[in-house]
């Protein structure tokens, strides 16, 4: 699954293929079951599912017959079911010999289970459990849900399913846990003029009368319930093929041209993955289904053979989409396609090991993006991914990559930055530690050994032990996945003698909020170099000595594959700053990131980063200036509400960035790099955010001129210009944007325009956006995002509004997002009163679901600390440096 790309802020912008798969034995039961896991007395092996949806009534009729193995004498069968009413449940011997017996049904809404009780004990053996029921079609992305969207010919309604992590139970009564793999036959009775899509190709169609058609799909491979998919609507489908597999993109009619890039990309990615994994994609087709709307929880889902993605993350509209959108589309497709192996073919045993799905898919997508599109230079993005993880991992509310999951809500909360970004960063480090080819062989061995089965993390480490050449990969992996936190590598000394530098390193722990914390301990793979000389590596366990070729500035974490921070002595850092231009761009980013984070944490002067930013030449790499711009706008937020100090800081920051934008300019050059194209948008956003009046006037001029001069707002800049205009809107401008949103017929653009209405700095307009969000007008899946959009500029207003209308807002948030949505609204606040409000909210929810709220509280406390303890040093630096 790809985490949601919907943002409240627009301004922050040698293994052979085709190996034979072994079919494993049934996975062993988890060592200790979570309290919400099902009894282990029955195991399903096959589901025959028949569904008749009634889209107009938002319900559906269902019948499912499950082939089950009763493993021990039982009088009850318990499975998962939510939001459905049963009319008949029977159990019959699979052999057909013996009468079916009726069950008494007891549904427990709190535990999302149904228990079927029988008068006589059921002997161990094979049976068929048949269930007739009626289910609900929702309006948020959980279970079977409906999306209404505009077209030139009027409103349309399409149906889709979303089951991860625990919502297949809303579609079929089932053993809705990842370890209960089974095969599926799906038959649907649907309007004959609409297209039905599922994991497998259509096996047959038959006239069902009354304008209906019975569509039966081929049997799926053995897979987990959360990977089943069904979609229905007025669709088009475009296709290509790769290595004998049909690849399709399914989307609303008339949008085929916007799917061309995804289709072309999927063809290349599937071929590369077949080669890399050494295991050919096993299904006959792979569809990518694009849907209007959005979710606060996810942007795409890896259903086996039927990847679901919201339109904004799959389709490219030439009138609106940007280079950044194109890169996100590719990365999203590559992420979900990686899941076809990591997650679908081999699945974690329980949600504790979710990172085996998400961390690997994130890492593989980045690797594939670097391979297919080297011109995008996305290897530099890996520093940002790591920084995002470390920012979360360095506070008390963090958790290990492998975490204990006890409830459905905790499983939903596990889809977070630690699982995705830290997982990706740690895999990148481990790959560098054992070597890329050995790592690939280990991945192949792991997938081949566990195909169609379930695993825990140690299954992967055991596979890596066999190819790591004696390196203690399991020890290193355990240190980084079973405990939380960020190692800190301190460069105690660097002594040069006879053309060789001896480096002495010690280990601590980097933390943002616990300066006196007793540090944890890791085995840390460290790569270092004397700048311009050969690299050397060591494993730091407490302390280590490393000899390097040459004399001069020493760079630790050369290549930036390590998941740790590096703390240099002042003289060492000064030498690196002096030779900054000699560093590779990725190491420049890494050094700046460490310097910024350590300055904010009080481990070194904040002025170290400001000195580095000030010394950055105007012709530095675009990625370096993007880092500077992002840090300056981030620092600006800490001054919010203190106009005099903020104006002084902004004068300095604008003076830093304006010359860079003058070099980049408004107009794209034919030969410019992708990084320059992205920097243009970033600088327009940053200078506007910093209140540069020249930039704001030019943005407004272009917006006003678009009606008579189409070139005033080129497609590549339309999104950022509209976002800035919306943020600084007056009532007349807000009304104009609102009218555009109501009139727009493209769902993707319409959704975006409604989102813009929530960006206004003006409090009265922000209140209008909140009020509008509670109406049906924006669309059921957009309203929660609008409230979150208001929260960026007005956290207190948005939080209080949502809590005052909680019953209504609950209906606008998909259930998998509920536990984190409300606390997140207060996340940008500096007001201590917000902490009290979130604690009051915590008191209303289960203690096991409070981590997201605790994390928001910790972040507010950290931001308050920075404002109190760090900004005075920034003020002092500005006084000396022309602020």
Catalytic residue positions, numbered: 336
What is the DSSP code (8-state) at residue 259?
G
- 273 with 338: CB under 8 angstroms? yes
Backbone angles phi, psi at 718, to 5 degrees: -60, -45
Backbone angles phi, psi at 80, to 5 degrees: -90, 140
Sheet holding 500-510, edge to edge: 543-549, 500-510, 486-497, 565-567
**3-state SS track over 22-81:** CCCCCCCCCCCCCCCCCCCCEEEEEEEEEEEEECCCCEEEEEEEEEEEECCCEEEEEEEC
What is the DSSP code (8-state) at residue 346?
B
Contacts of 843 (CB under 8 A, 6+ apart): none
CB atoms within 10 A of CB 777: 13
> Which tokens go with 752?
């975006």
Sheet holding 535-540, edge to edge: 535-540, 524-530, 554-556
> Which tokens go with 144?
């079977």
Residue 339 in marked binding region = yes
List 486's β-bridge partners, or say none.
Answer: 510
Residue 777 in marked binding region = no
Rounded CA separation 553/142 (Å): 54
The per-residue b/e assignment along 811-828, b for 16 or more CB within 10 angstroms, e otherwise, is ebbbbbbbbbbbbbbbbb
Residue 424 in marked binding region = no
Rounded CA separation 837/800 (Å): 9
Torsion angle of alpha carbons 130, 135, 141, 146, nearest 10°?
120
Q: How do beta strands 195-198 and 486-497 pair?
A: unpaired
Sheet holding 84-93, edge to edge: 101-102, 84-93, 125-136, 59-70, 42-54, 183-191, 212-217, 202-209
* Own/partner long-range contacts of 796-800 (Cβ < 8 Å, ≥24 apart): 796/826, 796/829, 796/831, 796/833, 796/834, 797/763, 797/766, 797/767, 797/770, 798/766, 798/770, 798/825, 799/825, 799/826, 799/829, 799/834, 799/837, 800/837
Torsion angle of alpha carbons 234, 238, 241, 245, nearest 10°?
0
Task: Assign 3-state DSSP to the chain and report helix, strand, coil percentages, each to 5.
Answer: 45, 25, 35
User: Helix (H, G, I), strand (E, B), or coil: what is residue 603?
Assistant: coil
Of 611, 617, 559, 563, which is closest to residue 589 (Cα–Cα)?
A: 559
- Give DSSP secondary structure letters for 151-177: ETTEEEEEEEEE-TTTTGGGTS-B--S
Contacts of 691 (CB under 8 A, 6+ apart): 647, 650, 654
Q: How many helices (H) and strands (E) does the chain have?
A: 28, 30
Count of positions (residues) in the chain: 883
CB atoms within 10 A of CB 670: 4
**3-state SS track over 309-341:** EEHHHCCCCCCCCCHHHHHHHHHHHHHHHHHCC
Contacts of 825 (CB under 8 A, 6+ apart): 787, 788, 791, 795, 798, 799, 802
Rounded CA separation 487/504 (Å): 16
- 550 with 579: CB under 8 angstroms? no
Q: Residues marked as binding for Zn(2+)?
A: 335, 339, 358
């Amino acid at each position: 699954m790809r985490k949601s790309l919907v943002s409240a802020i627009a301004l922050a912008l040698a293994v052979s293929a085709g190996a034979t798969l072994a079919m494993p034995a049934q996975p062993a039961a988890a060592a200790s079951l979570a309290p919400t896991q099902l009894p282990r007395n029955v195991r399903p092996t096959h589901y025959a599912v028949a569904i008749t949806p009634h889209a107009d009534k938002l319900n559906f009729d269902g019948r499912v017959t499950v082939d089950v193995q009763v493993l021990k004498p039982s009088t009850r069968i318990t499975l998962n079911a939510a939001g459905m009413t049963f009319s008949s449940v029977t159990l019959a011997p699979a052999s057909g010999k013996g009468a079916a017996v009726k069950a008494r049904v007891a549904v427990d809404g709190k535990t999302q289970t149904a228990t079927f009780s029988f008068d006589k004990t059921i002997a161990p053996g094979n049976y068929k459990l048949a269930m007739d029921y009626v289910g609900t079609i929702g309006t948020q992305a959980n279970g079977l849900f409906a999306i209404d969207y505009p077209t030139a010919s009027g409103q349309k309604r399409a149906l889709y399913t979303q089951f991860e992590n625990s919502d297949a139970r809303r579609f079929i009564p089932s053993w809705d846990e990842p370890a209960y793999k089974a095969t599926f036959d799906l038959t649907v009775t649907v309007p004959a003029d609409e297209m039905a899509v599922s994991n497998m190709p259509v096996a047959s169609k038959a006239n069902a009368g009354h304008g209906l058609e019975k569509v039966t799909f081929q049997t799926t491979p053995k897979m987990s319930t959360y990977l089943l998919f069904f979609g229905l609507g007025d669709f088009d489908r475009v296709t290509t093929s790769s290595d004998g597999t049909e690849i399709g993109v399914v989307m609303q009619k008339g949008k085929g041209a916007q799917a061309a890039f995804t289709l072309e990309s999927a063809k290349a990615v599937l071929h590369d993955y077949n080669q890399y994994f050494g295991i050919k994609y096993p299904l006959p087709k792979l569809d990518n289904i694009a849907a209007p709307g959005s979710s606060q929880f996810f942007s795409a889902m890896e259903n086996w053979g039927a990847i679901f993605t919201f339109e904004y993350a799959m389709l490219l509209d030439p009138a609106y989409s940007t280079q950044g959108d194109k890169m996100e589309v590719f990365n999203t497709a590559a992420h979900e396609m990686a899941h076809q192996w990591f997650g679908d073919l081999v699945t974690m045993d329980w949600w504790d090991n979710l990172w085996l799905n998400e961390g690997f898919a994130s890492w593989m997508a980045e690797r594939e993006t670097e391979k297919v599109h080297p011109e995008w230079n996305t290897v530099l993005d890996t520093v940002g991914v790591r920084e995002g993880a470390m920012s979360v991992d360095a506070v008390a509310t963090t958790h290990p990559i492998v975490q204990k999951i006890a409830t459905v809500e905790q499983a939903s909360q596990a889809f977070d930055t630690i699982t995705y970004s830290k997982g990706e960063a740690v895999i990148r480090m481990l790959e560098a530690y054992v070597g890329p080819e050995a790592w690939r062989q280990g991945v192949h061995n792991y997938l081949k050994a566990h195909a169609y089965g379930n695993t825990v993390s140690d299954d992967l480490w055991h596979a890596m032990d066999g190819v790591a050449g004696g390196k203690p990969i399991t020890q290193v992996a355990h240190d980084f996945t079973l405990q939380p936190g960020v190692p800190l590598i301190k460069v105690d000394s660097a002594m040069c003698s006879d053309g060789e530098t001896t480096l002495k390193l010690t280990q601590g722990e980097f933390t943002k909020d616990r300066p006196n914390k007793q540090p944890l301990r890791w085995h840390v793979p460290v790569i270092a170099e004397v700048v311009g000389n050969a690299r050397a590596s060591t494993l730091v366990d407490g302390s280590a000595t490393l000899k390097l070729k040459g004399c001069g500035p020493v760079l630790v974490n050369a290549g930036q594959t390590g998941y740790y921070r590096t703390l240099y002595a002042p003289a060492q850092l000064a030498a690196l700053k002096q030779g900054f231009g000699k560093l590779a761009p990725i190491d420049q980013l890494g050094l700046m990131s460490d310097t910024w984070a350590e300055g904010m944490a009080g481990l070194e002067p904040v002025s170290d980063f400001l000195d580095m930013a000030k010394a950055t030449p105007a012709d530095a790499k675009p990625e370096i200036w993007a880092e500077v711009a992002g840090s300056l706008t981030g620092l600006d937020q800490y001054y919010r509400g203190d106009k005099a100090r903020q104006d002084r800081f902004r004068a300095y920051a604008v003076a830093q960035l304006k010359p860079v934008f003058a070099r980049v300019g408004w107009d794209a050059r034919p030969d410019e790099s992708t990084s320059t194209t992205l920097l243009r948008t970033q600088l327009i956003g940053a200078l506007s955010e910093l209140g540069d009046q020249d930039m704001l006037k030019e943005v407004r001029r272009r917006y006003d001129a678009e009606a008579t001069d189409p070139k005033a707002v080129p497609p590549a800049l339309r999104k950022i210009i509209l976002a800035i205009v919306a943020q600084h809107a007056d009532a007349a401008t807000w009304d104009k944007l609102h009218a555009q949103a109501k009139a727009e017929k493209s769902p993707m653009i319409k959704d975006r325009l409604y989102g813009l209405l929530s960006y206004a700095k003006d409090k009265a307009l922000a209140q209008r956006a909140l009020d509008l969000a509670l109406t049906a007008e924006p669309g059921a899946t957009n309203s929660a995002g609008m409230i979150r959009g208001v929260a960026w500029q007005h956290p207190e207003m948005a939080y209080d509004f949502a809590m005052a209308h909680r019953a209504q807002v609950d209906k606008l948030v998909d259930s998998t997002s509920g536990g984190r949505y409300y606390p997140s609204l207060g996340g940008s606040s500096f007001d201590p009163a917000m902490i009290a409000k979130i604690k009051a909210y915590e008191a209303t929810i289960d203690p096991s679901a409070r981590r997201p709220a605790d994390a928001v509280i910790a972040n507010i406390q950290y931001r308050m600390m920075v404002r109190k303890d760090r900004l005075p040093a920034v003020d002092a630096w500005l006084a000396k440096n022309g602020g």
